Every structure is written in structure tokens, then in C-alpha cells.
Amino acid sequence: MCIRDSLWIPLAGGIFGVYQLYLYVVGGRFVHDVSLERSALAMFLSILLVIVFVVLVSLSGFV
């Protein structure tokens, strides 16, 4: 097996990551019976909250 044949493998993680975000949005829509926009907003706000928390902790010098 040549290395050249397996260079696409790291790209699969990104593709599956985007698909996972899509499944979260669509799943939230069906489970909670809300619109697609509202489900996407809830998912992106939760990701943003985690990012803000990580930035604040790293700036505080705690870690």
C-alpha cells in the first residue's frame, strides 16, 4: 500500500465532523419540535459558550 493512497484519511474526520453538526441540528429540530433555525442557533450558541469559557479560563492564568 502506498502512502499516497491513504492521504485522504485526515479529511474524513473533518467531513464527519460537519455531518455530526448537521445531525445535531436536525435531531434537535425533531426531538424538541422547533424550527431548523432555532435548533441551529441553540447548537451554535452552545459551541460559542464553550469557546468563550475556554478563552476566559486561559486568560485568567488558572491553567
Q: How far is the C-alpha of 16 from the C-alpha of 33, rounded, in Å? A: 25
pTM above threshold 0.75:
no
Q: Domain-by-domain residue ranges, the chain?
A: 7-60
Alpha helices in 1-35 (DSSP H): 9-32
Contact between 57 and 63 under an 8 Å Cβ cutoff? The reply is yes
Is the confidence at residue 56, as pLDDT, over 90? yes
What pLDDT sits at residue 32? 95
What pLDDT sits at residue 63? 65
Higher pLDDT, 53 or 8: 53
Read off the pLDDT of residues 1-40 as tens digits, 9 standing for 90 and up.
577 777 878 888 899 999 999 999 999 999 999 999 999 9
Quick one: average pLDDT of 31-57? 96
* Cα atoms in the Cβ-side hemisphere of radius 13 Å centred on 35: 3
